[in-house]
Amino acid sequence: MIIDKIENAYLYSGLSKRLTQGFNYLKNTDLLNSPLGTFEIDGKDVFAIVQEYKTKPQEECIIEAHYKYIDIQFIIQGQESIGVTHLTNQTPYEVNKENDYAFYKTKTALVPLSAGMFAVFYPSDIHQPCIAVGSPEKVKKVVVKVRLD
């Protein structure tokens, strides 16, 4: 996993062509004024999901991992914590490989993210997004889905 500010995205662009496409989208798109929805960047290999929601208490948030895609989760507006842990010997309670997710019940460590910050989650990273920092608040976020090379 990687957690950083968008101005440092250039440090990670060399990791893969598709990650570079995702970071370029984040840096070159007016995300604050972007409508909600799904936007193709490179077909099904790289696409963005712009969303708004109200953060919730940690116990109400799903803990997940993916098989086929890397997530770049970028906070456009607001703040949230994301629970994180590495995938080791945890057993998922629900798996859907076709829709690329597994849900877990496990402990996570909280990492706060505010506007302008991103987190990259690989299939070896379990993550729990949408957690309120203090009281629930509205967040606008984009999740760029990057198919593994």
Spans of the chain, pLDDT less than 70: none
- How is the chain split into domains, by residue range? 2-147
Contact 55, 130 (CB under 8 A): yes
| Tens of pLDDT, residues 89-126 | 999 999 999 999 999 999 999 999 999 999 999 999 99
Give the model's pLDDT for residue 125.
97
Q: Nearest Cα to 143, choosing from 59, 57, 34?
A: 34
Give the model's pLDDT for residue 149.
78
Give the model's pLDDT for residue 94.
97
Q: What is the number of residues in the chain? A: 149
pTM of the model: 0.95
CATH of domain 2-147: 2.60.120.370
Give the model's pLDDT for residue 14.
86
